[in-house]
């Protein structure tokens, strides 16, 4: 089992959103190194630390589990989506998504300050 850090701005999608939804597709990743890890290394059963960034106190706020390993991110093909990539083709997808399931919130966020 591996452990991963997934970053999200709480104004876009927070640990509270994940707790409400129970499961979500982690999509919109547009960094090649992260894409390669989602494609090649992240596996069903791995655990994820959810990290809130771009907020008053950036911190790890909860834990999730990978419930579906890498597959083509459908947002890359949707011209109406903010993550649309006109250079990506269904027969050669460029970007990868995974599905995660909420496990728990942390009692206390873990920040750089401790």
**Nearest residue to 93 via CA among 72, 112, 114, 113:** 72
Residue 16 clears pLDDT 80, i.e. is over it: yes
**Residue 49 C-alpha from the chain's centroid:** 10
Contact 9, 59 (CB under 8 A): no
- The parent domain of residue 28 ranges over 3-109
Mean pLDDT for the chain overall: 96
* Residue 71 CB partners (closer than 8 Å, separation 6+): 96, 97, 98
CATH number at residue 71: 3.10.590.10
Number of domain units in the chain: 1
Specify the pTM.
Answer: 0.93
Query: Residues 65, 46: contact at Cβ < 8 Å?
Result: yes
Query: What would the pLDDT profile of 80-102 be if each residue is shown by its tens digit?
Result: 999 999 999 999 999 999 999 99
């Amino acid at each position: 089992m591996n452990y991963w850090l997934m970053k999200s701005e709480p104004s876009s999608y927070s640990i509270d959103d994940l707790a409400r939804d129970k499961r979500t597709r982690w999509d919109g990743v547009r960094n090649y190194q992260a894409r390669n890890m989602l494609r090649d290394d992240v596996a069903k059963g791995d655990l994820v630390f959810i990290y809130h960034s771009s907020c008053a106190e950036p911190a790890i706020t909860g834990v999730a589990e990978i419930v579906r390993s890498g597959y083509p991110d459908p947002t890359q093909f949707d011209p109406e989506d903010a993550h649309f990539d006109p250079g990506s083709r269904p027969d050669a997808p460029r970007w990868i998504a995974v599905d995660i399931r909420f496990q728990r919130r942390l009692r206390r966020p873990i920040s750089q300050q401790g």
